[in-house]
């Protein structure tokens, strides 16, 4: 074990500030010869680089090894760097997007995928991942919804905590584990109009009720790091927000891990017009608890002077540096600074059959059967299949933030079908493109001709994978017009058609829903997406995904989410209605609500029973829900438990998920699923910003958000 306090006592202030600075790997790789380019722009010398404590954005493990080796040669204190990367949904073997993982409602799937990603990332030289992103989301126009698990705080919290535990394991010295960094604190997902980097303006009640719980769940799970947000929350950027960073994070939650800014977010305090001064930006961020400054170098440039002026204490500096050193010690970097990194850039742990199998099964579990009139599953006895659309034969289905994943290594839908149906003729026609401004119909005729003679038609539609992710906000999230026109022409000549849709966000699929008999939504499924799609379409696997973020009927409904408070004066849809809450053009409900998802099985919810219709604050009530798989097809069903506080001092959601279980049912199986309800599950954030419950009636229900099946009253007595 390294004596960290002794090491700290030997360091100069400049060396300490280096530990609190994270730079892009390109600075080390591209400026070895002289002080030009990035170094000059950052106002750094080559000597300054010898003190830097962490690095991000290296793309090959050999780069990581070379940087670490040179650093240990140059640093007089021999303090290893820590290497960080965005391993969002896989390192080299890519699994479905986090938003898709939320649709699995299965922490076992999340855990297995995350552990696989950690093993691959270690070989890639990654020691810390900037994951999980648990920003609560309601507006599908925001591109980064793909990184969240959706619009429910409980689901987001459950999946985020599962990822933290899977990444970190029980011992960070174990080289199958890496440290996790939860992000973005706080409420980045509430960006105004879904525009990335824009301000967030929400009440403290809404912040505490919906946006903060998932961060807290990850901290309770033991996450080692936390990343602040770019955005201003109620007028104050996170890096300057004392209420968020001190009162909530440190005082209320007791977080003692490392806090890192987002990319250049300390510099962004100047962009936010909080201060015109680099020096003051450094002072504000550091005194607000930001330990590591990512990419910008205000700390290295100004904190030594701020200490001399008495505006920052060296004691606080030492505390921040010690937190960073302690993380390095936990990771075992002082003993093994390379920590399993592969120097050859070709690790035997990447893209193994086992890893591909994990990715495929995850893609199968996350896909959602949105609509089915009986068309699916297709028969495997088909002789001719028409595979049509811009996603029919492309590896670009791994999604944004795919780290080191490569489209060339992913299984296309065409390849998946040919594997599953070796005796069938697979005719592939692109038909059209997927760009929003695409108007080329020259491929329509060949696509229609292929569909005419096919036993089954698969329409592969969606948005490009680079239309979602950071910086990719959209004004209109409708499926592109040319794809809808292609769908209409195809269905006109062959009714035995199913749409296979791909996206990084919920799309407006209203017109497609009216056009095609069946829709299977894959999100961006990852490396094994084509095999998963084939298995699902032809009944090798039974779909079991459920919507984790509502699909609107029209973009104008955004933000739309299931757990709204009651809309008063709600009236019928249509023009010429007076003094009622309604849209002229469409219904107020989503097209596909939170919790929606069909199956090839037929599940009947026969009853919901409570062990008592009354409970005190120290009591627990057992809820029993009897579910029957009436079909001859085995399948998985996510049984959900909802609550509504009938009357309260604060307007409460009309539905609120309080528990869920995903279970396998054999053909014909009837099962009673049990949940336990206690008083903490009925609490909410009151008007004095304390978490409370109030005596009175609660409705306990099952089903999904816009289709609650059984409801019983439960009275809380105090």
CB neighbour list of residue 205: distance below 8 Å, 6 or more residues apart? 650, 685, 687, 689
Q: Are the C-beta atoms of 85 and 294 separated by less than 8 Å? A: no
Helices in 410-560 by DSSP H: which ranges? 413-420, 444-452, 481-493, 510-515, 529-537
CB count in 10 Å sphere of residue 336: 13
**Distance separating alpha carbons of residues 700 and 641, to the nearest angstrom:** 7
CA end-to-end span of the chain: 53
Catalytic residue among 75, 262, 291, 645: 262
Residue whose structure tokens are 């290296």 = 58
Q: Are the C-beta atoms of 143 and 473 separated by less than 8 Å? A: yes
**Distance separating alpha carbons of residues 629 and 669, to the nearest angstrom:** 5
Angle at 524 between CA 519 and CA 525, to 5 degrees: 90
**Distance separating alpha carbons of residues 566 and 645, to the nearest angstrom:** 11
Closest CA to 25 of 74, 85, 72, 75: 85
What are 21's two structure tokens? Answer: 């600075």
Do the strands 258-260 and 293-294 form a parallel or antiparallel pair, or are they unpaired? unpaired
**Distance separating alpha carbons of residues 617 and 259, to the nearest angstrom:** 37
What are 495's two structure tokens? Answer: 């009714």
170 catalytically annotated = no
**Distance separating alpha carbons of residues 463 and 391, to the nearest angstrom:** 9
Residue whose structure tokens are 């007028």 = 235
CA 238 from chain centre, in angstroms, equals 20
Q: Are the C-beta atoms of 551 and 595 separated by less than 8 Å? A: no
CB count in 10 Å sphere of residue 502: 27
**Distance separating alpha carbons of residues 232 and 199, to the nearest angstrom:** 5
DSSP string over 311-352 = SS-HHHHHHHHHHHHHHHHHTTTTT-SSTT--TTS--TTTT-
How far is the CA of 403 from the CAs of 127, 236, 561, in angstroms? 14, 31, 30
**Distance separating alpha carbons of residues 228 and 133, to the nearest angstrom:** 11
Q: Are the C-beta atoms of 434 and 392 separated by less than 8 Å? A: no
Do the strands 21-24 and 54-56 form a parallel or antiparallel pair, or are they unpaired? parallel
CB neighbour list of residue 716: distance below 8 Å, 6 or more residues apart? 614, 615, 616, 617, 679, 682, 693, 694, 695, 696, 698
Q: Write out the E strands in 275-422.
A: 293-294, 368-372, 384-388
Half-sphere exposure of residue 121: CA atoms within 13 angstroms, side-chain side: 32
User: What is the torsional sign of CA 305, 19, 315, 232?
Assistant: positive
How buried is 579 (Cβ within 10 angstroms: 0-12 exposed, 13-18 middle, 19+ buried)? Answer: exposed
**Distance separating alpha carbons of residues 495 and 497, to the nearest angstrom:** 5
Give the single-character DSSP code of 508: B
CB neighbour list of residue 491: distance below 8 Å, 6 or more residues apart? 497, 515, 516, 517
User: Dihedrals φ, ψ of 463, to 5°?
Assistant: -110, 150
Q: Which residues are catalytic?
A: 262
């Amino acid at each position: 074990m390294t004596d960290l306090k002794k090491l700290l006592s030997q360091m100069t202030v400049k060396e300490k500030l280096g530990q609190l600075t994270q730079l892009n790997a390109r600075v080390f790789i591209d400026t070895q010869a002289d002080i030009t380019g990035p170094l000059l722009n950052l106002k750094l010398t080559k000597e300054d680089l010898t003190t830097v404590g962490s690095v991000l954005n290296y793309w090959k493990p050999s780069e990581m090894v070379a940087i670490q080796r040179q650093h240990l040669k140059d640093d007089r204190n021999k303090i290893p760097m820590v290497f960080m990367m965005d391993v969002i949904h896989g390192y080299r073997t890519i699994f479905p997007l986090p938003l898709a993982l939320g649709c699995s409602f299965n922490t076992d799937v999340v855990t297995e995928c995350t552990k696989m990603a950690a093993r691959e990332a270690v070989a890639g030289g990654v020691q810390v991942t900037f994951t999980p992103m648990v920003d609560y989301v309601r507006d599908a126009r925001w591109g980064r919804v793909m990184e969240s698990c959706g619009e429910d705080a409980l689901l987001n919290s459950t999946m985020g905590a599962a990822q933290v535990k899977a990444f970190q394991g029980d011992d960070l010295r174990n080289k199958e584990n890496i440290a996790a960094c939860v992000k973005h604190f706080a409420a980045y997902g509430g960006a105004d109009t879904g525009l990335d980097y824009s301000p967030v303006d929400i009440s403290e009640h809404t912040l505490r009720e919906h946006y903060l719980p998932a961060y807290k769940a990850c901290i309770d799970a033991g996450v080692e790091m936390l990343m602040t947000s770019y955005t201003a929350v109620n007028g104050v950027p996170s890096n300057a927000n004392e209420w968020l960073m001190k009162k909530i994070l440190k005082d209320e939650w007791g977080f003692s891990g490392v806090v890192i800014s987002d990319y250049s977010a300390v510099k962004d305090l100047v962009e936010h017009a909080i201060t015109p001064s680099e020096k003051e930006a450094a002072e504000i961020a550091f005194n607000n608890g930001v330990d590591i400054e990512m990419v910008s170098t205000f700390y290295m440039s100004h904190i030594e002077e701020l200490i001399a002026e008495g505006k920052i204490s060296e004691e606080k500096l030492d505390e921040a540096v010690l937190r960073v050193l302690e993380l390095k010690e936990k990771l075992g970097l002082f003993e093994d600074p390379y920590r399993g990194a592969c120097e050859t850039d070709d690790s035997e742990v990447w893209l193994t059959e086992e890893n591909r199998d994990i990715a495929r099964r995850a893609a199968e579990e996350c896909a959602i059967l949105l609509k089915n009139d009986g068309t699916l599953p297709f028969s495997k006895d088909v002789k001719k299949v028409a595979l049509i659309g811009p996603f029919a034969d492309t590896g670009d289905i791994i999604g944004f933030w795919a780290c080191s994943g490569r489209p060339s290594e992913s299984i296309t839908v065409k390849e998946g079908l040919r594997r599953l149906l070796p005796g069938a003729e697979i005719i592939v026609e692109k038909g059209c493109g997927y760009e929003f401004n695409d108007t080329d119909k020259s491929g329509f005729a060949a696509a229609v001709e292929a569909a005419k003679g096919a036993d089954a038609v698969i329409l592969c539609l969606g948005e490009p994978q680079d239309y979602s992710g950071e910086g990719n906000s959209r004004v209109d999230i409708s499926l592109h017009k040319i794809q809808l026109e292609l769908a209409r022409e195809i269905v006109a000549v062959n009714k035995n058609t199913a749409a296979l849709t791909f996206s990084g966000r919920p799309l407006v699929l209203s017109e497609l829903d009216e056009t095609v008999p069946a829709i299977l939504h894959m999100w961006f499924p990852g490396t094994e997406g084509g095999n998963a799609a084939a298995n699902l379409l032809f009944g090798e696997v039974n779909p079991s995904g459920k919507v984790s973020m509502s699909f609107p009927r029209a973009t104008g409904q955004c933000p739309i989410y299931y757990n709204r408070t009651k809309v008063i004066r709600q009236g019928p849809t249509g023009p010429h209605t007076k003094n009622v809450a309604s849209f002229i053009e469409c219904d107020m409900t989503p097209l596909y609500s939170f919790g929606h998802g069909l199956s090839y099985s037929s599940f009947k919810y026969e009853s919901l029973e409570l062990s008592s219709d009354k409970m005190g604050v120290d009591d627990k009530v057992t809820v029993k829900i009897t579910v029957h798989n009436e079909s001859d097809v085995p399948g998985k069903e996510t049984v959900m438990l909802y609550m509504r506080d009938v009357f309260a001092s604060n307007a409460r959601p009309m539905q609120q998920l309080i528990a869920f279980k995903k279970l396998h049912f054999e053909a014909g199986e009837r099962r009673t699923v049990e949940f336990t309800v206690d008083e903490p599950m009925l609490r909410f954030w009151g008007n004095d910003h304390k978490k409370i419950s109030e005596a009175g009636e609660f409705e306990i229900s099952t089903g999904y958000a816009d289709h609650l099946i059984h409801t019983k009253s439960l009275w809380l007595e105090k």
